[in-house]
Amino acid sequence: MYVCRNCGLQYVSDEAVMCTRCQAPKGEGGQYCPCCGAPVRQPMQNVCLNCGVEMQGYGNTSTKSKVAAGVLGLFLGCFGVHNFYLGYIKKGIIQLVISLSGYIAYFATVIGVAVSQTSDNVSKTLIVLALVALVYFCVSVIGVGIWAFVESIMIFCGKIKKDGKGRFLK
């Protein structure tokens, strides 16, 4: 939702560029929080004390493009790159950590097997460990890959249409 910063009227559409009651252009005025509609008490205040959003520029068009975000999600999505790009840092970090942990587990055991092979006896434990790591690798990377793929589709068809600061994507 978007609330007129001048008179506090809630916009019918987030895409509207002007208030239909007071005719103030979107974002003009400083009496109300554009996100939750709470009255702003201190004139210089920029973060809403009720909902915590940054009020200046809230609801404006983002500098981030929808196409770029979607393409990043398709190709580098398993590392959360599209979420970093859009400013959804927490989600990006979660995706990155899950994927990286899969890669690290996999390569660590591959190196382990390679090293123990040179000493002529690969222990059974290590082989089991390598298989477990391989399964974990597949599950984590494919899992995050599917997650990112779904997000890319949602970005392309406009289900995800705002960046991390609530601005509409280009």
Residue in 2, 6, 77, 152 binding Zn ion, rule: CB under 5 A:
6
Spatial separation of the C-alpha atoms in residues 147 and 110, rounded to whole Å = 26
Residue in 3, 4, 72, 86 binding Zn ion, rule: CB under 5 A:
4
- Residue 83 interacting with Zn ion (CB under 5 A): no
Residue in 3, 11, 19, 79 binding Zn ion, rule: CB under 5 A:
19
- Residue 3 interacting with Zn ion (CB under 5 A): no
Query: Which residues, 21 to 50, sit near Zn ion by CB under 5 A?
Result: 21-22, 24, 33, 35-36, 38, 48, 50
Only one of the segments 4-12, 69-77, 80-88, 116-124 lies at the binding site for Zn ion (rule: CB under 5 A); that segment is 4-12
Residues interacting with Zn ion, by CB under 5 A? 4, 6-7, 9, 19, 21-22, 24, 33, 35-36, 38, 48, 50-51
